[in-house]
Structure 1
Amino acid sequence: MNTRWIALPALLGALTVQAADDEILRLTQASGCVACHQTEPSRTAGSPPPLAPAWRDIATRYKSVKGAQQQLTATVMTGSLPADQGRSPYASHWTGKVQGEFMPTHRHAVTQADAARIVAWILALEPLK
């Protein structure tokens, strides 16, 4: 049996995943997500915290949260502090870990469907150990 043909599906699958990753990263750039977020956390001693949590930190935090996909998609669209909730931004579980106090709405920058695709990609990232 020719091992080149066995490896071909795995290679094609890897290329498909890479193409999807590239597409999502282009979408996050076009939507302005990367102005505050990055994929990997940067933890340098003595440096100020990042503006917003890294996507891998979000994946780790929400990996086992039921309804995380819908919750985070709603956060992208409406922001993390919708006026109807009236919560203090300091009640966030990211307080002290990031500089930002809340996430503004992004409904003007991304469609609901694209927000859901971005969130699905984030939640599929391998959690931090």
Structure 2
Amino acid sequence: MFRHSTLAALLACSLITPAAMADAKLDTDMKKLALSSGCTTCHGIEKDKPGPDGLKPIGPAWIDVAAQYRGKPGATEFLTRVVQEGSNPYSSHWKNRVSGIAMPPNAVAISLADTRQLVSWILSLK
């Protein structure tokens, strides 16, 4: 009996570990991509990360972006377009929550494919 439960526990751990390792590698890869593309100049992952000189953060935390857009139809395409083309400073729903007024266009800093991958990862954050 003991052998069966130990074997089952080891088997369960061996099934979980590769997925956890894949998630950790994806997290590391996406953080590197964000850093090399300049995204982390304005954005952080966690909530309430202060901006320069203790001001509100420049851009919204990705955890907040995920909460705002996760599960909404077309969210990946919309956010990919915002990253690539920039946002309208007159229609920002982050007003009074961040110190930046708009996202600048980033097509010169990050490819469309990389943007889509990064946005998908951001939307998966919990």
Instruction: Give the TM-score category using the shorter length.
Output: 0.7 to 0.9
Residue of 21, 24, 45 corresponding to 2:27: 21
Distance 1:51 1:43 in 2: 10
Q: Tell me how far apart the structure 2 counterparts of residues 111 and 73 of structure 1 sit (CA, whole Å).
A: 10
Q: Which runs of 4+ in 1 moved over 2 A?
A: none
Higher relative contact order (CA 8 A, sep 6+): 1
Aligned to 1:80: 87
1:61 maps to 68
**Is 1:9 the counterpart of 2:20 in the alignment?**
no
Count, aligned residues: 117
Shift of 1:51: 0.5
Deviation at 1:111, TM superposition (A): 0.5
Residue identity in the other structure for 2:21: L
Structure 1, unaligned stretches of length 5 or more? Answer: 82-88
* Cα deviations by residue, 1:99-122 (Å, 9 ceiling, x for unpaired): 100000110111100000000001
Query: For 1:6-44, what per-residue CA distance to the aligned partner results, in whole angstroms no more than 9, with x for missing partners?
Result: 210101110110000100000000000000000001167
Letter in 2 for 1:51: I
In terms of mean alpha carbon deviation, does 4-13 or 96-105 score higher?
A: 4-13
What one-letter code is carried by the residue in structure 1 that aligns with 2:93?
Answer: H
Deviation at 1:91, TM superposition (A): 2.4
AA in 1 matched with 2:62 = W
Which residue of the partner structure matches residue 57 of structure 2? 50
Deviation at 1:52, TM superposition (A): 0.5
Q: Structure 2 unaligned runs (5+)?
A: none
**Pairwise CA RMSD:** 1.4
User: CA, structure 1 residues 31+79, in 2 after alignment: closer, same or farther (shift >3 Å)?
Assistant: same
TM-score (norm 1): 0.85
Q: 2:49–2:61: 8 Å Cα contact kept in structure 1?
A: no
